[in-house]
Amino acid sequence: MNTPRLDPHTLLAQIRALGDIGAAAEGGRTRIALTDSEKAGRDRLVAWMRELDLDIRVDAIGNIFGILPGETPWQEAAPLMMGSHIDTVGNAGALDGCYGVLAALAVQRAYREAGIVPRRAIIAAAFTNEEGVRYQPDMMGSLVYAGGLDLDSALNAVGTDGSRLGDELVRIGYAGEMAPGAIVPREYLELHIEQGPVLEAENLQIGVVTGVQGISWQRLSIRGTANHAGTTPTRLRHDAGYAAAAIAAFLRDEVVAAHPDSTLATVGSLELHPNLINVIARQADMTVDMRDPDEGRLQEAEQRLQDFIAAIAEREGVEISSERLARFEPVPFDDALQDTIEATAAELGLSHRRMVSGAGHDAQMMARIAPTAMIFVPSHKGISHNPREHTDDAQLIQGAEVLLTVVGKRLAAE
Ligand code: HGY
Ligand code: MN
Ligand code: MN
């Protein structure tokens, strides 16, 4: 009897080819959601889906689905869905998201090339705007798909560049017809690089992901008073730059220090105005990304930050406003799917462990509408969101083999 077999060469070649789209001469690639370079990535993915003769659907938030039909149509038997994203942060690696989407195509290709029609349809998905760096929140396409954000709010999202998401979706030609959420899978599986140091540090090959930690994103606007750096006594200053720096230091020295093994805080974006060497900053715009696997600790971190903001605003005589950009509680993944992934890794002779995901993923949104789980492969030195993101080819193939085997087990099960 024919058996679906992975074609590792095509998978690796497609990862490289997609990684060349939006590539910069000095290394890395940038395919920020709904930009021309991301459109080019989308077009390439759709072309690869056509080569597999998949039924291609695009929904109203631009999520792309490639459907490999099953013996029973997906309208009658809930399909199996795998996926991730192909948008990137700025100057990104080639694997984040793309690996999971292209591995999903590799699974479908294995069935096609074996001439096997699966009992149920197998769907590969690429969700819109997972990174959330231009339009917030992140995981936006899967959040809309799972019913966590209404479509109009998403389409009306204004980007950091002032653009409207819905206009950009039309401009790049990916404002689709399908209603988000129209296809509810029986299960959703996402293969992804770990993006952290754990698997490599413990010399393990596979991560069985138990869930995703909580995420809190906010943008702070600090309004002070511009003044002369040389003539203004400190006691008379209303220095937005100092207030921003004090907040960043408080996050690390107080909030993270209270739970150093779990709470994370990042000031990834900070803009001062007028941003001149001899002018006290009148304005500071900054973002705060806080994470913790425990919802109670994440709320504690948010409260401590809010209290400090009030105190520093009073002390420095500045006004500080906060805008919530994203807030997701920790999400647990499906136990039975985790067991299947774990058993599969063991059968394939791959060392493995259960672990929480530090990064956000589309899977945390799909878990709202279907049993969901993730498979991790190691990231070299734990580096990601960086052109130096790397996973060995052998490790990428091992992860795809686990995915293919788990899919086979799920399709064989009633
Ligand atoms: O922010 C995250 O964790 C994901 O990369 N969007
Ligand atoms: Mn990702
Ligand atoms: Mn990412």
Taking only the tens place, the pLDDT of each residue in 219-246 is 999 999 999 999 999 999 999 999 999 9
Beta strand 372-377 with 187-193: parallel, antiparallel or unpaired? parallel
Question: DSSP letters of 192-239?
Answer: EE--SSHHHHTT-SEEEEEEE-EEEEEEEEEE---EETTT--GGG---
- Ligand 1 near 132 CB (within 6 A): yes
Report which ligand 1 atom has the smallest distance to the Cα of 139. Answer: 6
Q: Count other Cβ atoms within 10 Å, centred on residue 55.
A: 13
Query: What ligand has the least distance to the C-alpha of 358?
Result: 1
Compute, in angstroms, the gap from residue 321 CA to the centroid of ligand 2.
30
Asked whether residue 83 carries a pLDDT value surpassing 90, the answer given is yes
Q: Across residues 267-275, what is the average pLDDT?
A: 98
Q: What is the Cα–Cα distance from 332 to 182, expressed in whole angstroms?
A: 24
Protein residue with least CA distance to atom 6, ligand 1: 131
pLDDT tens, position by position, 289-321: 999 999 999 999 999 999 999 999 999 999 999
- Reading the block at residue 288, the tokens are 């705060």
In the chain, CATH 3.40.630.10 covers 8-212+330-412
pLDDT tens, position by position, 193-210: 999 999 999 999 999 999
Q: Across residues 125-150, what is the average pLDDT?
A: 98
Compute, in angstroms, the gap from residue 299 CA to the centroid of ligand 1.
19
* Ion ligand 2 — residues with CB < 5 Å: 96-97
The predicted structure's pLDDT at residue 17: 98
pTM of the model: 0.96
pLDDT tens, position by position, 327-385: 999 999 999 999 999 999 999 999 999 999 999 999 999 999 999 999 999 999 999 99
At residue 267 the predicted structure's pLDDT band, cuts being 50, 70 and 90, is very high
Q: Which of 357, 370, 335, 401 is nearest to 81 (CA)?
A: 370
Compute, in angstroms, the gap from residue 120 CA to the centroid of ligand 3.
30
Beta strand 122-126 with 80-84: parallel, antiparallel or unpaired? parallel
Task: Give all strands (DSSP E) within 46-184, no chain letters.
Answer: 55-58, 64-68, 80-84, 122-126
Report which ligand 1 atom has the smallest distance to the Cα of 89. Answer: 5
| Helix, strand, or coil (residue 99) | helix
Compute, in angstroms, the gap from residue 391 CA to the centroid of ligand 3.
15
Q: Which of 333, 231, 332, 223 is nearest to 281 (CA)?
A: 223
Q: Across residues 47-58, what is the average pLDDT?
A: 98
The predicted structure's pLDDT at residue 2: 85
Q: Which CATH number fits domain 8-212+330-412: 1.10.490.20, 3.40.630.10, 3.40.50.150, 3.90.550.10?
A: 3.40.630.10
Asked whether residue 262 carries a pLDDT value surpassing 80, the answer given is yes
Compute, in angstroms, the gap from residue 390 CA to the centroid of ligand 1.
17
DSSP secondary structure letter of residue 355: E
- Ligand 1 near 359 CB (within 6 A): yes
Asked whether residue 140 carries a pLDDT value surpassing 70, the answer given is yes
Query: What ligand has the least distance to the C-alpha of 98?
Result: 2
Compute, in angstroms, the gap from residue 96 CA to the centroid of ligand 3.
6
Protein residue with least CA distance to atom 2, ligand 1: 360
- Ligand 1 near 389 CB (within 6 A): no
State the DSSP H helix or E strand holding residue 332, giving kind and residue range, or none if neither. Answer: strand 331-332
Q: What is the Cα–Cα distance from 227 to 224, expressed in whole angstroms?
A: 10
- Ligand 1 near 131 CB (within 6 A): yes
Protein residue with least CA distance to atom 1, ligand 1: 360
Compute, in angstroms, the gap from residue 117 CA to the centroid of ligand 1.
35
* Ion ligand 3 — residues with CB < 5 Å: 96
Percent of the chain whose predicted confidence (pLDDT) is above 70: 100
Buried b or exposed e, range 106-129, using 16+ CB within 10 angstroms: bbbbbbbeeebebbbbbbbbbbbb
Mutation pick for ligand 1 pocket among 129, 139, 290, 365 (CB with most ligand atoms within 8 Å): 139
Asked whether residue 174 carries a pLDDT value surpassing 70, the answer given is yes
> At a CB cut-off of 8 Å and minimum separation 6, what does 138 contact?
129, 130, 131, 132, 215, 217, 326, 360
Which CATH topology does 214-328 take? Alpha-Beta Plaits (3.30.70)
Protein residue with least CA distance to atom 4, ligand 1: 360
Mutation pick for ligand 1 pocket among 130, 194, 292 (CB with most ligand atoms within 8 Å): 130
Asked whether residue 1 carries a pLDDT value surpassing 70, the answer given is no
Residue in this structure with the two tokens 């999971």, named with its chain if needed: 100
Compute, in angstroms, the gap from residue 314 CA to the centroid of ligand 1.
33
At residue 276 the predicted structure's pLDDT band, cuts being 50, 70 and 90, is very high
In the chain, CATH 3.30.70.360 covers 214-328
Compute, in angstroms, the gap from residue 284 CA to the centroid of ligand 2.
29
Q: Across residues 274-286, what is the average pLDDT?
A: 98
Q: Across residues 137-141, what is the average pLDDT?
A: 98
To the nearest whole number, what is the mean pLDDT of the chain? 98
- Ligand 1 near 62 CB (within 6 A): no
